[in-house]
Amino acid sequence: MRRYIAPFKKYLWGSVVLNILSAVFNIFSFAMIVPMLRILFRMTDKTYVFTPWNEVWSKPLKEIGNSLMQNVYYTLEVNIAQHGEIMVLLVLCVFLIIMTALKTACYFGSSAVMIPIRTGIVKNLRMKIYDKILSLPLGFFSEEKKGDIIARMSGDVQEVENSVAGSLEMLIKNPILILIYFVALIVISWQMTAFTIIFAPLMIWAMGVIGKNLKRKSLDVQTLWSDVMSQVEETLGGLRVIKAFIAEKKMSARFEGVTEAMRKKTSRVSMRQALAHPVSEFLGTVLITIALFFGGTLILKGHSIIDAPIFIYYMVILYSIINPIKDFSKASYAIPKGMASMERINKVLDADNNITEAADPLPLEGFSDKISFEGVSFRYPDGSKMILDDIDLEIPKGKTIAIVGASGAGKTTLVDLIPRFYDPESGSIKIDGTPIKDVRIQDLRNLIGNVNQESILFNDTIFNNIAFGVENATMERVIEAAKIANAHDFIMEKEGGYQFVIGDRGVKLSGGQRQRISIARAILKNPPILILDEATASLDTESEKIVQEALDRLMSTRTTVAIAHRLSTIRNADEIIVMNEGKIVERGRHEELIALDGHYRKLNDMQAL
């Protein structure tokens, strides 16, 4: 947590100074009670002697308080004799108001300077999580639920704000108040303080018992919150299937089970937190009562250790120290909850990113020769079976290479290795003879455009979706790209044209329209290498024809790697690669592969039926 607080050190020091001033002014404001009581109850018969100030500070600590009070009472006696009791009482009242005003101003200031820390920590934490999500490889998200990551960014960060960041003020203010008030108690009466402090360990022990295991229970609650968010995310993404299979009751029962488990865990944590205030209130009252009995006994027996006005002042300060102790105990319960959430956040922030930049990256300014796979093998991090096994492949510039095969053959994984969405377990991938691991990832991906089976669009305008990732894109260039992608006509039919907001994931567009927007985006980027991952597989015949025309224009001047589900779309490819169980089993042109009467022929015959 320190690394998130570090940028706000200046605010922390400001809070420390203001809290010290607030405590000091508070002590002085309460100190006005003693002379007021003496004047009101005419307890000024005693004769006081003035001690020079330089001698006061040279005395032992336990005598400084007495000497200070002697000087104050001497000054009051002189002023009462000169100006009368009423005037002195008025001056004391005005002084009390001034001290209280200064105290409350410092108290407000100490709280105000903590606001930038609290809001800044939360903002920086969210930005770090978001930036980390953007930087992590795709393999990380294959092992994590999206709902869980959303929960960490929302619920866990909110818990850190409420628990840890919200407790920072108490952690700074309360130790300062406790220390200054405790010194004041010793100065007023070290005998009473020594007697009272014997019972302090009891309060600390009771607080520890209540707070025990709170962090672990809070971690369980946040984990269940992630399960809730994951189920909500799954439900929103699968509403069509849920309704089609009349599974609303089943999903509701699942959700009820998760929320009920969370309710039980939350109730236990909240019960412990709710217990904190009454226990600290009770123990504080016990402490006050003990001090009241001890001090009252001394006064009633006529001991000279303390008199009635000083005793009242002592009790006021003692009561003042109870509130910071209670707040401190609240922080001791809140912080474990926040630290449990911080552990979950750090799991994302500290996640390893195996897609690393080269220490001294080589220049990659363009693409002029070929892409080559040399003995490439790959398996996912979970240690599952080999997805790609010893792949050797060359993709010459300007050629269209199609990759076909059954589901699970490794087609998508193969093309995902080119932009380094994953790194191979062994072997090497090169562009123009340079290993892609030795060049900057940004330079590599600048050369590549992607059009996938599922059109990834954003809840923004059509213009911004086409211009996504292209800096300073003009309307003329966007319109030109849309025309090449056969998208301009349907765009102009929408309300607002290119400023039409397409909704979440492009829900306001048809499948063919979404795909043409994706193609226009790739055209605007104008990459020399194009990867098509079953770009027309989910479209109807009419939409496929329109999209295929747009793809043909896009592919005509580029090196293309196309994963194909429908073999009719890749008959004219320069080379067709047939994959089966992670290996290349056949390669050649359409007619050559048909003549082989192997895997490709079987795929072709099945689609011809």
Do residues 490 and 342 both lie within one domain? no
Both tokens assigned to 392 = 């050797």
121 Cβ contact list (under 8 Å, min separation 6): 4, 5, 8, 160, 161, 165
Mean pLDDT in residue range 393-413: 88
> In terms of Cα–Cα distance, which of 348, 2, 12, 11 is closest to 157?
348
Over range 326-341, report the average pLDDT.
70
Asked whether the predicted pLDDT for residue 478 surpasses 80, the reply is: yes
Confidence of residue 550 (pLDDT cuts 50, 70, 90): confident
Mean pLDDT, the chain, integer: 80
Pair 218, 354: CB distance under 8 Å:
no
For residue 392, what pLDDT is reported? 92
The answer on pLDDT for 257 being more than 60 is yes
Helix (H) or strand (E) run with residue 434 in it? strand 434-435
Indicate if 83 and 46 belong to the same structural domain.
yes
Q: Which one has a higher pLDDT value, 529 or 226?
A: 529
Residues 67 and 166 in one domain: yes
* Region for 12 from its dihedrals, namely left if φ exceeds 0, alpha if ψ lies in -120 to 50, beta otherwise: alpha
Looking at the structure, do residues 491 and 539 belong to the same domain, yes or no? no
- Tell which residue, 234, 116, 245, has the closest CA to residue 168: 116
User: For residue 430, what pLDDT band results from cuts at 50, 70 and 90?
Assistant: very high
- Name, of 129-133, 283-287, 350-354, 438-442, the range with top average pLDDT: 438-442
pLDDT at 176: 85
Whether 474 and 602 share a structural domain: no
Coil, strand or helix at 215: helix
Same domain, 165 and 92: yes
Mean pLDDT, residues 92-110 taken together: 85
Q: Which of 297, 327, 349 is the last residue of a domain?
A: 349
For residues 276 and 390, state if they share a domain. Answer: no
Higher-confidence residue of 520 and 552: namely 520
Q: What is the mean pLDDT of residues 568-584?
A: 87
The confidence score (pLDDT) of residue 283 equals: 74
Q: Which of 475, 510, 526 is the last residue of a domain?
A: 526
Task: Report how many domains make up the chain.
Answer: 3
- The mean per-residue pLDDT over the stretch 189-202 comes to 74
How far is it, in rounded angstroms, from Cα 487 to Cα 494? 11
Contact at 8 Å (CB) between 451 and 519? Answer: yes
Band of pLDDT at residue 598, cut at 50, 70 and 90? confident
133-134-136 Cα angle (round to 5): 65
Q: Over pLDDT 90: what percentage of the chain?
A: 9
Strands 448-452 and 426-431: unpaired
- Rounded average pLDDT over 18-28: 85
Give residue 39's pLDDT: 66
DSSP bridge pairs for 452: 533
Confidence of residue 317 (pLDDT cuts 50, 70, 90): confident
- The pLDDT confidence band at residue 46, using thresholds 50, 70 and 90, is low
Write down the pLDDT at residue 382: 67
Domain that holds residue 478: 456-526
Distance CA 267, CA 217 (A): 10
What would the mean pLDDT of 166-185 be, rounded to a whole number?
80
37-41, 542-546, 605-609: segment of lowest average pLDDT: 37-41
SS3 category, 205: helix
- Nearest to residue 103, comparing CAs of 176, 174, 27? 27
DSSP-assigned letter for residue 499: G
d(Cα 29, Cα 330) in Å, to the nearest integer? 27
Helix-strand-coil split of the chain, %, nearest 5 = 65, 10, 25
User: For 1-5, 111-115, 383-387, 551-555, which range has the lowest pLDDT when averaged over its residues?
Assistant: 1-5
E strands in 271-406: 370-378, 388-396, 400-405
Contacts of residue 44, Cβ cutoff 8 Å, sequence gap at least 6:
38, 73, 76, 77, 80
Distance CA 281, CA 271 (A): 16
3-state DSSP call for residue 574?
coil
Which CATH number covers residue 412? 3.40.50.300
In this predicted model, which residue has the larger pLDDT, 403 or 220? 403
The confidence score (pLDDT) of residue 207 equals: 60
Q: Is the predicted pLDDT of residue 372 greater than 90, yes or no? A: yes
Residues 323 and 405 in one domain: no
How confident is the model at residue 218, as a pLDDT? 65
Give yes or no for a contact between 540 and 494, defined as CB atoms under 8 angstroms apart.
no
Q: What is the mean pLDDT of residues 345-355?
A: 82
Residue 401 has φ and ψ, to the nearest 5°, of -110, 120
Asked whether residue 370 carries a pLDDT value surpassing 80, the answer given is yes
Same domain, 119 and 14: yes
On the question of pLDDT at 215 being above 60, the answer is no
DSSP 363: P
Same domain, 538 and 410: yes
**In terms of domains, do 407 and 508 share one?**
no
Look at residues 309, 331, 349 and tell me which one is the last residue of a structural domain.
349
pLDDT band at 578 (very low <50, low <70, confident <90, very high): very high
* Mean pLDDT calculated for residue range 231-241: 75
Per mean pLDDT, which of 49-53, 206-210, 568-572 is the most reliable?
568-572
Residues 434-458, buried b or exposed e (16+ Cβ, 10 A)? eebbebebebbbbbbbbbbbebebe
| Residue whose C-alpha is closest to residue 569's, from 538, 523, 592 | 538
b/e sequence 314-339, b meaning 16+ C-beta within 10 Å: bbbbbbbbbebbbbbbbbbbbbbbbb
Strands 426-431 and 434-435: antiparallel
Q: How confident is the model at residue 454 (pLDDT cuts 50, 70, 90)?
A: confident
Q: Are 51 and 71 in contact (CB under 8 A)?
A: yes
Do 576 and 508 fall into the same domain?
A: no
- Separation between Cα atoms, residue 386 and residue 249, nearest integer Å: 40
User: 374 falls in which pLDDT band (50, 70, 90)?
Assistant: very high
Query: What pLDDT sits at residue 239?
Result: 76
Question: Which amino acid is it at 514?
Answer: R
User: What CATH number is attached to the domain comprising 239?
Assistant: 1.20.1560.10
